[in-house]
Structure 1
Amino acid sequence: MKGKVIRRKKIIYLDSPKKGIWEIGFALKVAWQLMYNMRKLHNIGPGITVFGSARLEEGTPYYEAAVEFGRRIAAMKFTTITGGGPGIMEAANKGAFEAGGMSVGMNIVLPHEQHENPYLTTSVVFEHFFTRKVLLVKHSYAFVVMPGGFGTMDEFYEILTLVQTKSVDRYPIVLFGSDFYQPIVELMKGFAGAGTIAPIDMDLVFITDSIDDGMDYIRKFINSHYNILPQRPRWRWLERKEPK
């Protein structure tokens, strides 16, 4: 389309080993993108990340639910963080933006489908999924997983693995849409039955169809695990509570 710049990325960085100098250059490029985006996102404050499909459009029940999640997150004075694209991501950003909250999008360069939504107060762009996922986790104290596809499942299982292995602190994970996620829940139960995960690992996920219940779960978890301390005029920081 004339006048519109469309970003494309070459699919080469996982395409077999390259010469040593190329590999060094790639590593430095990744490091620079991480440092640049970390700096840009440094002051966004504590957030809640909403994951979900880019393909669910305005007017669908899950889109409207994501809008309400964004509103509720803003009402808690937390930053709403998404992948920055259309669909569920747009919906959560929209809810936060219209409620006067901070609305952050972490977009990615793709050959199709992904474009920046118009409800962002802060936006960054990544070339690689692995760097993007680092920062989708870094500023978040809770995660809401709406219905989605392969990308959403990738993000959901990465967060779940990080919490399960104690690579990050225990954060609330809300899986929204019990009918949609029933096969995933049954699969996880199968893991527990086969002994490949501990039965207690099932408790790492809160499954619900209620926005009220999901937000109450997040609010109670954060209030019981973290002290909320005012440190800067623009936002509040969270400090982990010491066990009694």
Structure 2
Amino acid sequence: MTEEQVEYPEHPREKQRGPVVLRRGRRVEATTTDQRLLDSRGPSDWVHTDPWRVLRIQAEFVEGFGALAEVPRAVTVFGSARTPRDHPEYEQGRQLGAALATAGFAAITGGGPGTMEAVNRGASEAGGLSIGLGIELPFEQGLNPWVDLGVNFRYFFTRKTMFIKYAQAFICLPGGFGTLDELFEALTLVQTKKVTKFPVVLFGRSYWGGLYDWVKNSVYGEGKIGEKDLALLHVTDEIDDAVRMVQESYKAWEDTH
């Protein structure tokens, strides 16, 4: 071993992997990134590692921002992918999409079937912009045929950012875990003032009434949230009422900017 190869405790041998330094022979790879990239005969597992996923995540943000940057004022609407087309909730979603388009708002949904499809369909049929932000799932579907502008995502958190960033309001039609997830995330972002232009409307008193009562009687009643937090939730059965809430909130936000 030459003097240059001696490993001193204060200056151990190291390998550089871009900005990453690997020392003491731990986790040192036998091949380089360039070699794995250019050698088509090598293993492909490396493209599924966490550092590579970071680039995919970055690419999803770039694609999403680029696709949606010119979107006019919009409302994100969530609902169940399992609602059949002959269900009353489907027709309500279709009417809601049309009403939003008539009021000058683009409609953003998860792009799937059910009430998401209904909202996209109503917005498109009324001449509005119909947007679908899809997600790669082990079940269910691609984008529904009434999406005018669609973006597919691998990662939920990237998709969630787009739902929030490009919308001026949030309307929840009856839905499952995905709808509940988005509902409470939106409420948390508004409560903590991460977003300031976001009324949250629960459409369907018979469906959402029990949840609202629980939030009011238990969460608010026991002091876990404040009066202003409770006031973030609006429950209605009327499409005109939901659209009015969106318009009033948007005007109030517009007047302060």
**TM-score (ref. length: structure 2):** 0.78
Equivalent in the alignment of 1:85: 112
* Contact 2:169–2:200 under 8 Å retained in 1: yes
2:189 corresponding residue in structure 1: 162
**Residue in structure 2 matched with residue 191 of structure 1 by the alignment:** 219
Aligned partner letter, 1:215: V
1:1-244 equivalences in 2 (<5 Å): 22-189=49-216, 190-227=218-255, 241-242=256-257
Say how many residue pairs are matched.
Answer: 211
39-48 or 104-113: which moved more?
Answer: 39-48
Q: Which runs of 5+ in 1 are unaligned?
A: 1-18, 228-240
Deviating runs (4+, > 4 A) in structure 1? Answer: none
Contact 2:172–2:203 under 8 Å retained in 1: yes
Deviation of the 1:46 alpha carbon: 1.6
| Structure 2 CA distance for aligned equivalents of residues 43 and 184 of structure 1 | 36
Q: Distance in 2 between matches of 1:81 and 1:121?
A: 10
Name the SS for the 1:119 alignment partner: coil
Q: Contact between 1:54 and 1:114, CA under 8 Å: does it hold in 2?
A: no
Alignment partners' CA distance in 2, 1:170 and 1:138: 10
Deviations 1:62-111 (A, max 9, x none): 11111111111111221110000000110000001001111000001111
CA distance in 1, matches of 2:118, 2:64: 23
Q: Which residue of 2 aligns with 1:12?
A: none
Letter of the structure 1 residue corresponding to residue 126 of structure 2:
A
Identity rate of aligned residues, in percent? 40
- Report the alpha carbon displacement of residue 184 of structure 1 after superposing the two structures with TM: 1.1
| Higher relative contact order structure (alpha carbons within 8 Å, sequence separation ≥ 6) | 1
- The 3-state SS of whatever aligns with 1:81 is strand
- Kept in 1, the 8 Å contact 2:197–2:249? The answer is no
* Conserved? CA contact 1:108–1:114, under 8 Å: no
Q: Distance in 2 between matches of 1:128 and 1:187?
A: 31
Q: Which residue matches 2:3?
A: none
Cα RMSD of the aligned pairs, angstroms, is 1.7
Q: Give the 3-state SS of the residue equivalent to 1:181 in structure 2.
A: helix
1:55 CA drift (Å): 0.5
Is the CA contact (8 Å cut-off) linking 2:197 and 2:250 kept in structure 1?
Answer: no
Match for 1:220: what amino acid?
E
Structure number with greater Rg is 2
What is the distance in 2 between the residues matched to 1:70 and 1:156?
A: 19
- Secondary structure of 1:104's counterpart equals strand
